[in-house]
């Protein structure tokens, strides 16, 4: 059988499939469940310094080719999250990635420093959706803002790898990734959801209470592949968790070919009952059929 193992900034994974942030919430038992289902690593829902309620319902819609959500980053706050991460680290049996967000570089550093006491394998900085800079723009929309957050956290957290999660709706995601790497980021997660909207023509209103939401599901995959490939060209050596619309083993192979070291699985958990186990089996089958023995062999040249 092909070797599906990979590594992210020195963190070893038995297989490249990573539960995406926000899919199974902040509860430790749900992260543990994803690990038992076959995930190579699991990511918690993003947490902030203080508890946050999020947006009013309806917050999500689903269709065969896309999903749209505007949850609003609801979470119990970092102090409650510390205990959930500790429990997941203790019992999941796979690396646990803790996702954090904030409204300023200083608060990002503070929440990352607090979550670090739970000893996650990686801290993921959600600078891309829907948390915003005080001027109303995402931190990920500017290399300068992304660098400011990365530097602030690196001053507070030195022993745990930091991955910066970037947005697709920027002019040059590769340049922003390169700036984050120069500022000390240990890895990049690409991508977050794409801003989108859906309208109910009979009700004559937007479906989501927030009007706008994040687009995910199969429709996002071509965008995600381009973004991951752009990040890889700009940052030849940095580890990348690539995700967005991956729902099959061949989709995972596409993401690896684009330049990812690991593959984020999100909406596939809704589309497929046993997403991690089936996608892992399909990826192994593809590699065997194509004569690939290890994951790095899959990557495109150039």
pLDDT of 88-117, one tens digit each?
Answer: 999 999 999 999 999 999 999 999 999 999
Q: Domain-by-domain residue ranges, the chain? A: 6-298
CA atoms within 13 A on the CB side of 21: 33
- Taking the CB of residue 140, how many other CB atoms lie within 10 A of it? 30
- Token pair of 98 as six digits: 């803790």
The closest alpha carbon to 268, from 286, 280, 256, 285, belongs to: 280
Residues 209-218, mean pLDDT to the nearest whole number: 94
Chain position carrying tokens 């429709």: 219
Chain position carrying tokens 């801003």: 195
Give pLDDT, residue 255: 98
The closest alpha carbon to 213, from 88, 58, 79, belongs to: 58
- State yes or no: is 129 an active-site residue: yes
* Peptide bond before residue 132 is cis, with ω within 30 degrees of 0: no
Greatest Cα-to-Cα distance within the chain, rounded to the nearest angstrom: 54
Domain 6-298 CATH superfamily: Aldolase class I (3.20.20.70)
Q: What distance lies between CA 61 and its chain's CA centroid?
A: 20
Residue 197's beta-bridge partner residues?
Answer: 212
pLDDT of 230-267, one tens digit each?
Answer: 999 999 999 999 999 999 999 999 999 999 999 999 99
- Token pair of 145 as six digits: 């803002």
* Peptide bond before residue 130 is cis, with ω within 30 degrees of 0: yes
Give pLDDT, residue 209: 94
Check 129, 180, 227, 235 and give the catalytic one: 129
- Give the integer Cα–Cα distance in Å for 190 and 226: 10
The closest alpha carbon to 189, from 102, 266, 248, belongs to: 266
* Peptide bond before residue 58 is cis, with ω within 30 degrees of 0: yes
Residue 135 scores a pLDDT above 80: no
Residue 129 scores a pLDDT above 70: no
Residue 133 scores a pLDDT above 90: no
Give pLDDT, residue 132: 57
């Amino acid at each position: 059988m092909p070797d599906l193992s990979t590594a992210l900034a020195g963190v070893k994974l038995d297989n490249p499939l990573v539960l995406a942030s926000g899919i199974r919430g902040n509860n430790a038992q749900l992260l543990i469940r994803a690990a038992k289902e076959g995930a190579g690593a699991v990511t918690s829902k993003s947490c902030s310094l203080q508890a946050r309620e999020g947006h009013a319902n309806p917050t999500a819609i689903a269709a065969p080719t896309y999903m749209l959500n505007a949850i609003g980053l609801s979470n119990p706050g970092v102090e409650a999250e510390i205990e959930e991460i500790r429990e997941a680290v203790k019992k999941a049996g796979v690396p646990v990635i803790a996702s954090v967000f904030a409204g300023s570089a200083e608060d990002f550093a503070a929440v990352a420093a607090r979550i670090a006491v739970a000893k996650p394998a990686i801290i993921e900085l959600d600078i891309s959706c829907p948390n915003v800079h005080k001027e109303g723009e995402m931190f990920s929309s500017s290399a300068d803002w992304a660098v400011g957050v990365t530097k602030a956290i690196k001053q507070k957290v030195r022993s745990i790898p930091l991955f910066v999660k970037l947005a697709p709706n920027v002019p040059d995601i590769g340049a922003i990734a390169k700036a984050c790497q120069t500022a000390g980021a240990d890895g990049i997660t690409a991508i977050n959801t794409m801003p989108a909207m859906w309208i109910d023509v009979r009700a004559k209103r937007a479906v989501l209470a927030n009007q706008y939401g994040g687009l995910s599901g199969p429709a996002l995959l071509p965008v995600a592949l381009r973004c991951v490939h752009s990040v890889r060209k700009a940052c030849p050596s940095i580890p990348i968790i690539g995700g967005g619309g991956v729902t099959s083993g061949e989709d995972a192979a596409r993401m690896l070919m684009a330049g990812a070291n690991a593959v984020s699985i999100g909406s596939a958990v809704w589309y497929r009952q046993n997403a991690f186990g089936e996608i892992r089996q399909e990826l192994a089958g593809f590699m065997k059929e194509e004569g690939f023995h290890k994951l790095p062999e899959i990557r495109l040249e150039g």
